[in-house]
Chain A
Amino acid sequence: MPAPHHRRQFARYLPVLPAVVLLAVFLAGPVLWAFQASLTNAGLTGRHARNPEWVGLENYQRLLQDPVFPLSLALTVLFVGGSAILGQNILGLALAVLMRRARPAVSAAVGTAVVAAWVLPEIVAAFAAYAFFSNDGTINQLLGGLGLAEVDWLYAMPMVALILANVWRGTAFSMLVYRAALGGVPAELTEAAHMDGAGAWQRLVFITLPVIRGTIATNLMLITLQTLAVFTLIWVMTAGGPANGSSTLPVMAYQEAFKFGDIGYGTAVASVLILIGAVFGAAYLRLLREQKP
């Protein structure tokens, strides 16, 4: 009797409905709307705001000819690669390894400092980073104190400042993930290697890292996705400037849509970003499945 069975099944899953409706309207809806709107000339104001016209792939053709787009894509790759995959990942791992060897009080104090930068509201962290890298800010005070030349960070090398700021802001996540993972590495393994005469570096490279490689892959995926979406930090520190010198994809999408009032073109940029996110998301899910037998 399939019918009553299905009906019961349906009634049982009724409580899922509010969540599904919320997700469908506010997450799936905008994503689908984005792909559709990116094929129109929808505007922020004026007549194209009320009656957008279908323009087919025009926005995407424009994207391919727009010199800002490849720049923006390259900056996004640089930002994610530099601040997440290299910076946060390696520093987070280093912190987690060092914390197991340091005195508990030191490790707790440093852990608090690292986490504090991560827990602060993003706008506050962005202001603090802006002040730190501004012309008469703390980092130039330090350089001056050491007798080195001061640098106008936010204009002369905005990407360096942004990458350092995002490492400061986000390393806590990788640190927490790796602390948990290192706690799960069986002590017998490293001890046995120690007995065989392996040094600290050898134990790390040949024992510990292979054991936690699943965690490393997961962490890389998650921080890539988080960093891909960073907007506030960049917007407050450089607003994408100078001359698009730091306008990553989220900043470009925002500017095209809201500063230049071209919602259609802005959503085309956003659609590219959504697709990149979806690719990484799918890779992340595959990874999880492989890890769970």
Chain B
Amino acid sequence: MADAVLLLIGACFVLPLLWLVLGSLDPAAGHGTKLPQQPALDNFAAVLTPELLFRPLVNSVLLSVGTGAVTLAAAVLAAYPLSRYRSRFNTPFLYGILFGTCLPVTAIMVPVYGLFVQLQLLDSLPATVLFLSATSLPMAIWMTRNFMDAVPLAVEEAAWVDGASRLAALRSIVLPLMGPGLGVVFIFVFIQAWGNFFVPFVLLLSEANQPAAVSIFSFFGQNGAVAYGQLAAFSILYSLPVLALYVIVARGSGNSLALSGAVRG
């Protein structure tokens, strides 16, 4: 009984995805789901061009890797004192940070646009990276601190006794021990940045800077009526990296990602 109900619900969740897969293989795809009469890779061939796929994907990589790196660096630095020192400052700071994760990011996009106009940062990839980093920082700090708390202070103290400075101990002892945790944080930030549409849609104006999420929207917004198969093929190629990364994380520690999902959107 439970099996049957579950499978029925599961089928409802698969249906919209089925269109993506079948449509990508069908050169004559439309809105409907149907088995391709002549399955072919024409759609993939059509979107595998430098201006359509590669340049936007390179921008997506720059945006996501940049955001991941900046966020991780700032989060590790901030997490260290929060994890290692006791202070009246910690609790309010952490709650303030958690409050930051609650802000609806879409609500601040209009003011962020205004801010970027005034600071003349519009259409700048580095500035967009910094903004994306700021939006993912609260959860990243929260997670990084939890991972750091799990590294016993005793291990670090042993290094100090041997004459290592705090920074050296952090780099050579603490960070390697929390490697998998840092990987989870990086991948989580990467996935969010990779999939984000609204932020680059508002902040990056020229085609040369737009990541795949925006280029897919503008291209197919104009040509969608004739090229649904290509839209599906493009979507699959663009989604693959994120799906692969999720599988890697879910195998290791599904729960921490579930927790981190708390701030999506």
Measured CB to CB, the closest approach of chain B to A178, in angstroms, equals 10
Q: Are B7 and A49 in contact (CB under 8 A)?
A: no
The yes or no answer to A120 lying at the interface (CB within 8 A) is yes
* Given A124-B235, A229-B107, A274-B107, residue A19 in contact with residue B137 (CB < 8 A): yes
Q: Are B246 and A119 in contact (CB under 8 A)?
A: yes
Contact segment of A20-28, A67-75, A189-197: A20-28
* Given A37-B114, A250-B106, residue A18 in contact with residue B77 (CB < 8 A): yes
The yes or no answer to B65 lying at the interface (CB within 8 A) is no
Partner of A141, one of B33, B141, B202: B33
The number of inter-chain residue pairs (CB within 8 angstroms) is 266
Contact segment of B38-46, B47-55, B254-262: B254-262
C-alpha spacing A106/B254, complex, angstroms: 18
Contact segment of B81-89, B150-158, B171-179: B81-89
The yes or no answer to B134 lying at the interface (CB within 8 A) is yes
Q: Are A128 and B7 in contact (CB under 8 A)?
A: no
Q: Are B216 and A106 in contact (CB under 8 A)?
A: no
The yes or no answer to B168 lying at the interface (CB within 8 A) is no
Measured CB to CB, the closest approach of chain A to B244, in angstroms, equals 10
Residues on the A chain within 8 Å of B108, using CB: 27, 30-31, 34, 270, 274
Q: Are B130 and A22 in contact (CB under 8 A)?
A: yes
C-alpha spacing A55/B17, complex, angstroms: 49
Closest-by-CB residue of B relative to A222 is: B262
Measured CB to CB, the closest approach of chain A to B103, in angstroms, equals 6
The yes or no answer to A57 lying at the interface (CB within 8 A) is no
* Given A131-B16, A138-B19, residue A277 in contact with residue B110 (CB < 8 A): no
> Which residues of A, 97-129, contact B by the 8 Å Cβ criterion?
98-99, 101-103, 106-107, 109-110, 113-124, 126-129
* Given A33-B114, A229-B107, residue A9 in contact with residue B75 (CB < 8 A): no
The yes or no answer to B105 lying at the interface (CB within 8 A) is yes
What range describes how many residues of A lie at the interface?
35 or more
C-alpha spacing A31/B103, complex, angstroms: 9
Q: Are B3 and A122 in contact (CB under 8 A)?
A: no
Contact segment of A58-66, A204-212, A278-286: A278-286
Closest-by-CB residue of B relative to A35 is: B111
Closest-by-CB residue of B relative to A34 is: B111
Residues on the B chain within 8 Å of A232, using CB: 197-198
A-B residue pairs, 6 tightest by C-beta: A281-B102, A26-B134, A121-B195, A110-B10, A229-B104, A34-B111
A-B residue pairs in contact (CB < 8 Å), sample of 12: A26-B130, A27-B108, A98-B2, A114-B9, A120-B243, A121-B213, A127-B235, A128-B16, A137-B32, A267-B114, A274-B108, A284-B98
* Residues of chain A at the chain B interface (Cβ within 8 Å): 9, 12-13, 15-16, 18-20, 22-23, 25-27, 29-31, 33-34, 37, 42, 49, 91, 94-95, 98-99, 101-103, 106-107, 109-110, 113-124, 126-129, 131-132, 134-138, 141, 168, 171, 173, 176-177, 180, 222, 225-232, 236, 249-250, 253-254, 257-258, 263, 266-267, 269-270, 273-274, 277-278, 280-282, 284-285, 288
Known: A121-B238, A123-B213, A267-B111. 13 other contacts (CB 8 A): A13-B87, A101-B2, A128-B17, A137-B19, A171-B13, A180-B258, A231-B198, A254-B109, A258-B113, A270-B108, A270-B109, A284-B102, A288-B98
